[in-house]
């Protein structure tokens, strides 16, 4: 009787402990795995970019891989076994067994084709540069990396790169001293042909407003145009 009491007491204690910890196993697992994969994906992308920069330096073919999906399956199994002590002993040994497995699956695809080539050589829009600068990116570094020319001063080794860097340094100093403000104004971009006012109904105005559009007067002052607000640096 004593042996059975000790056995059930130990078994109940172990089960209670596992149930309590099991309730938080999923969230804790997600937190740890998510952060690890996020850091590794970012580091891998940085390493890939650096590798391709070196390849370009030596006129080698560049290659980019896109991570299409990451699937991680984790399992946690608990089992118990018992071992009866020798006949002269009145104790029973409880043997817990814990099994954990992690099976990640990755899907990659090479970045090739005309569309990818166009993205590599496509000029960066001034809006993109302004957004990055407004997000506290150093304007000096952005200009050195993304701007090719300012008023005829070329950002190239065979050009007037020293003067270009002076301009970038000036903008960088102004940004540090909070004397350089990059803001965005909103303007209305017409997206339709002129429309007669008499043809518009109240429902048209409501539908346009719900979709983020509005009607603005045309240059002739008689017709209206459907327009969409656009931010402009």
Which of 99, 81, 72 has its CA nearest to residue 7? 81
Q: Which residue has the higher pLDDT, 13 or 51?
A: 51
Rounded Cα distance, 127 and 138, in Å: 16
Torsion sign across C-alpha atoms 170, 172, 173, 175: positive
Chain segment 149-208, per-residue pLDDT in tens: 888 888 887 767 888 899 999 999 998 888 887 776 777 888 888 888 888 888 888 888
Average pLDDT of 91-110?
74
Residue 15 DSSP SS3: helix
Rounded Cα distance, 102 and 27, in Å: 15
**Does residue 120 carry a pLDDT above 80?**
no
Structure confidence at residue 92 as a pLDDT band (50, 70, 90): low
Structure confidence at residue 95 as a pLDDT band (50, 70, 90): low
Return the number of other C-beta atoms located less than 10 Å from residue 172's C-beta.
19
- Per cent of the chain over pLDDT 90 is 3
How is the chain split into domains, by residue range? 2-110, 123-176, 185-232
Structure confidence at residue 2 as a pLDDT band (50, 70, 90): very low
Q: Output the CA–CA distances (angstroms, integers) from residue 33 to 27, 36, 106, 140, in the order listed.
A: 10, 5, 14, 36
Chain segment 192-226, per-residue pLDDT in tens: 888 888 888 888 888 888 888 888 888 887 888 88
**Does residue 82 carry a pLDDT above 70?**
no
In DSSP terms, 99 is beta-bridged to: 77
CA triplet 168, 174, 176: central angle to 5 degrees? 105
The tokens describing 102, both together, are 């992690």
The tokens describing 202, both together, are 């109240």
Average pLDDT of 99-117?
81
Rounded Cα distance, 141 and 129, in Å: 11
Quickly list H helices, 68-215: 114-121, 126-134, 139-146, 161-176, 202-210
**Does residue 24 carry a pLDDT above 70?**
no
| pTM (whole model) above 0.75 | no
Rounded Cα distance, 230 and 233, in Å: 10
Rounded Cα distance, 48 and 84, in Å: 58
**Does residue 121 carry a pLDDT above 60?**
yes
Return the number of other C-beta atoms located less than 10 Å from residue 33's C-beta.
15
**Does residue 85 carry a pLDDT above 60?**
no
Residue whose entry in the numeric block shows the structure tokens 């109904």: 201
Residue 87 DSSP SS3: coil
Chain segment 133-144, per-residue pLDDT in tens: 877 788 898 888
**Does residue 19 carry a pLDDT above 60?**
no
Rounded Cα distance, 61 and 51, in Å: 11
């Amino acid at each position: 009787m004593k042996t059975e009491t000790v056995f059930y007491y130990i078994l109940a204690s172990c089960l209670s402990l596992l149930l309590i910890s099991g309730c938080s196993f999923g969230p804790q697992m997600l937190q740890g795995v998510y952060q690890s994969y996020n850091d590794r994906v970012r580091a891998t992308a940085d390493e890939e970019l650096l590798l391709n920069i070196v390849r370009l330096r030596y006129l080698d073919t560049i290659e980019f891989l896109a991570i299409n999906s990451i699937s991680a399956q984790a399992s946690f199994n608990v089992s118990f076994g018992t071992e009866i002590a020798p006949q002269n002993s009145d104790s029973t040994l409880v043997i817990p067994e814990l099994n954990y497995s992690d099976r990640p699956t990755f899907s990659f695809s090479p970045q090739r084709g005309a569309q990818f080539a166009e993205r590599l050589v496509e000029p960066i829009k001034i809006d993109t540069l302004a957004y990055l600068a407004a997000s506290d990116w150093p304007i000096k570094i952005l200009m050195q990396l993304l701007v090719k020319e300012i008023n005829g001063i070329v950002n190239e080794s065979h050009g007037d790169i020293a003067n270009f860097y002076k301009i970038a340094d000036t903008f960088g100093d102004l940004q540090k001293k909070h004397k350089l403000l990059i803001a965005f104004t909103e303007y209305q971009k017409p997206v339709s042909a002129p429309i007669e006012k008499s043809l518009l109904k109240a429902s048209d105005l409501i539908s346009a407003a719900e979709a983020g559009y509005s009607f603005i007067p045309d240059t002739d002052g008689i017709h209206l145009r459907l327009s969409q607000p656009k931010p402009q640096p």
